[in-house]
Structure 1
Amino acid sequence: MLKNPVISIIIPTYNRAHLIDKAIKSVLNQTYQNYEIMIVDDGSTDNTKEVVKGFADSRINYFFHTNNLGVSAARNTGIKASRGEYIAFLDSDDEWLPEKLNRQIKIFKSESSVVGVVYTGIYYSDEKGKKVKKVYMPGNEGYIYEHLLKRETEIYISTVLLKNECFTKAGLFDADLFIGEDYDMWLRIAKYYKFRAVKELLVVGLIHDSQTSANSEVMIEGVKKFQKKYSKELRTRPYSNSTFYFYLGNKFCHLRKIREGQKYFIKAVLTYPFCPKYYIYLLCSIFGSRGYMHISHIRRYFMNMRKVDDD
């Protein structure tokens, strides 16, 4: 065990024994090496423990939840056990490029004490390592609370390096949120600290067959909870609020609950009537669940055709 690690790297995982090996290797391959790794197994029933124990590195710490408590609880376990001045998060199906931590720690060492978070770009690949469409390069820096509320800035959790002290001021992850728990955290931290960006693609997200997210009903309830938590802030920011109504409308339509979906599309339009997309999706819903799903599949097909250039 490293005596005084500068960075604590928290990897929450659940039944990803077939993927976590690559995530851990990407950490061990970092050019910056002063860290500890906190792997929090959120009740896996596969051989995740055996895969982790197969790494003969004293910097790796393994924690096990006897019950599946959710990713927020897993991250909180890692935060509470961390000893580093800085904390990084890595999802167990993501990977870091070798210079990721080094680029970020250099910014912290050269910046003022008001910088709390440094984040990077991310791109996604399939299981063969080929880039796919989804690429995100960071933009906004400084005090970005308003940018976050207006949904003008996206920060992916595997891209961040932040000061451990941020959690003293902002608190731990909200385990009651089923979706957007990281977005909620960035909003809380942004009230106190500046954000800095490394405008390089230093994280790889994997798109794979076994990739699962919370089921649609749970995600819907999660979005409603998020809206309720930030109701005061969203009330004065109509565009931001409308994006949540649109999300709910689309989710309900995909569940073939067309009338419920239309209700939320209409709320999106009434909240922010200047977005053409809201009207288009509302119109598509008039064709019923079959028509809506058919149009959705056509849209997804053309989106998948727009691949990112290999270079």
Structure 2
Amino acid sequence: MKTYDLSILIPTYNRKKCILHAVQSVLQQRSSGLTHEIIIIDDGSTDKTYELFAKNRYPHLRYFYYKQNKGVNAARNRGVEKALGKYILLLDSDDRLTKDCFEVIAQYTDRNHKKMVPLMLFGTQEIKSGKLLSHIQEEKVYSYREWLEAKKVYGEFLMVIRTDLLRKNPFPEEFFCFEQYHWGRLIQKNRVFASKKILRLYSYEQENRVSKKLLEPSNAEKRFRDYQKYLATFGKDYLRLSLKEKYADLLFKQGFYGILSGKKESKALLKKSLAQRFSVFVFLVFLASFLGKNAFLRIYALFLKTSFFEKMTTTPV
């Protein structure tokens, strides 16, 4: 069976209009010596995405269609199963790679393999504005504590992970838009290298779609459960490592989404957050939670006009 250095995994759902930009960004890579394949996992698209790949016009590209939409994490797991590469590069269907992406990755794969570092993070920039979306203080191997602290390394990244590690640790399919849980589990037991080099061009339209989804009560409830499970898994580590401010922030976010989805325990979560670290803003949100859901949503609409919502949806957790 043929093997590759790198498998570029692109999950997609109804992104026929833009997915070719992602594919072309792979095909237009400068010579790097890396052998690669492209794997597209179509998670039940209804926009005839398959028409783009029906005639096998792209070299080293394999397209798989699954009728039932199961979400991005399920699509990623299916792609990992199909991958023939030593490493997997995760690329969203509306994002692109910089032309020197493979050149840069080739410089680091051997170096980090020798150091037993199976996860690599690279910088991300927004396509239209040029805004830097990844925050990496310095190029180095980061500790689990530094990852949880989210001060030296946080934001949006291009992720390159050794395939065998992802096979042993599949993406949690029950989560909604919460990659940090999976990365946290991997970094608990493995080393992670981060580079400031910009290799991923990010579509802000994607962020807008996610942000709008989070406003929906059913999705706010999913987000509430995501934080609940995240805190159940990592909460003790935040306290053990004296990261009380970050722990308070997580409690607040769980309480916030709990209010949006009508959870009774939301007020208790906000109180617990205030007990860890007092914040005027969190206190005002706590008071607003007594006004009822409709009034709270009106206040929430005001938050959307500030940088608050951007912070809520783009920070690591």
TM normalised by structure 1 equals: 0.81
SS at match of 2:180: helix
1:177 pairs, out of 160, 175, 178, with 175
Residue 107 (structure 2) pairs with residue 116 (structure 1)? no
Q: Please name the residue that 1:35 is paired with.
A: 36
How far is 1:261 from its partner? 4.3
- Cα offset for 1:286? 5.8
Matches within 5 A, 1:124-139: 124-125=126-127, 129-131=128-130, 135-139=133-137
Distance 2:53 2:107 in 1: 29
Q: Secondary structure at the match of 1:208?
A: helix
Structure 2 CA distance for partners of 1:227 and 1:258, relative to 1, 3 Å: closer
Residue 38 of structure 1: SS of its match in structure 2?
strand
Kindly tell me: are residues 103 and 302 of structure 1, through their superposed partners in 2, closer, same or farther at Cα, counting changes over 3 Å?
Answer: same
Distance 1:47-1:235 versus aligned 2 partners, 3 A rule: same
Equivalences for residues 65-144 of structure 1 within 5 A: 65-111=66-112, 112-125=114-127, 129-131=128-130, 135-139=133-137, 141-144=140-143
Q: How much has 1:104 moved relative to structure 2?
A: 2.2
Question: Is structure 2 residue 242 aligned with structure 1 residue 244?
Answer: no
Mapping for residues 206-285 of structure 1, pairs under 5 Å = 206-208=203-205, 211-212=209-210, 213=213, 215-234=219-238, 236=240, 238-254=244-260, 257=262, 261-270=266-275, 272-285=276-289
Is residue 120–residue 137 contact of structure 1 (8 Å, CA) maintained in 2? Answer: no
How far apart are 1:101 and its partner, in Å?
2.8
With over 3 angstroms needed to count, the CA separation of the structure-2 counterparts of 1:130 and 1:231, relative to structure 1, is closer
Note closer, same or farther for the CA distance 1:122–1:283 as it changes in structure 2 (3 Å cut). Answer: farther
What corresponds to 2:186 in structure 1?
Answer: 189
How far apart, in 2, do the equivalents of 1:102 and 1:228 lie? 40
How far 1:89 moved relative to its partner?
0.4
1:309 alignment partner in structure 2: none
2:135/2:154 contact within 8 Å kept = no
Partner residue, 1:15 = 14
Write out per-residue CA displacement over residues 46-92 of structure 1, whole angstroms, 9 at most, x where no aligned residue.
11111233661131101122211221111111111111111100011
Equivalent residue number for residue 314 of structure 2: none
Compute the TM-score of the two structures, normalised by the length of structure 2: 0.79
Alignment partners' CA distance in 1, 2:229 and 2:278: 25
Change over 3 Å in CA distance of 1:9–1:258 after alignment to 2: closer
* Counterparts of 1:191 and 1:301, CA distance in 2: 36
- 2:88 is paired with a residue of what secondary structure? strand
Unaligned runs of 5+ residues in structure 1 are: 307-311
Greater displacement, 196-205 / 289-298 = 289-298
CA deviation profile, 1:140-163 (whole Å, cap 9, x unmatched): 642421223334443646x01122
Deviates more, 1:49-58 or 1:98-107: 49-58
The 3 A distance-change label for structure 1 pair 92 and 291 is same
Partner of 1:154: 154
Q: Post-superposition, which runs of at least 4 consecutive aligned residues in structure 1 deviate over 6 A? A: none
Identity %: 23
Q: Distance in 2 between matches of 1:297 and 1:275?
A: 20
Deviation at 1:274, TM superposition (A): 4.5
Amino acid at match of 1:194: R
| Number of residues of Structure 1 aligned to a counterpart in Structure 2 | 295
What's the offset of the Cα at 1:295? 4.8
Whether the aligned pair in 2 keeps the contact of 1:150 and 1:239 (CA below 8 Å) is: no
CA gap 1:55/1:204 in 2 versus in 1, 3 angstroms: farther
Q: Deviations over 1:261-307 (max 9, x none)?
A: 4333212112x224454234334546665665555444433439x9x
Q: Is the 8 A contact 1:258 1:288 kept in 2?
A: no
Q: Distance in 1 between matches of 2:66 and 2:20?
A: 19
**Unaligned 5+ runs, structure 2:** 311-317
CA distance in 1, matches of 2:154, 2:129: 23
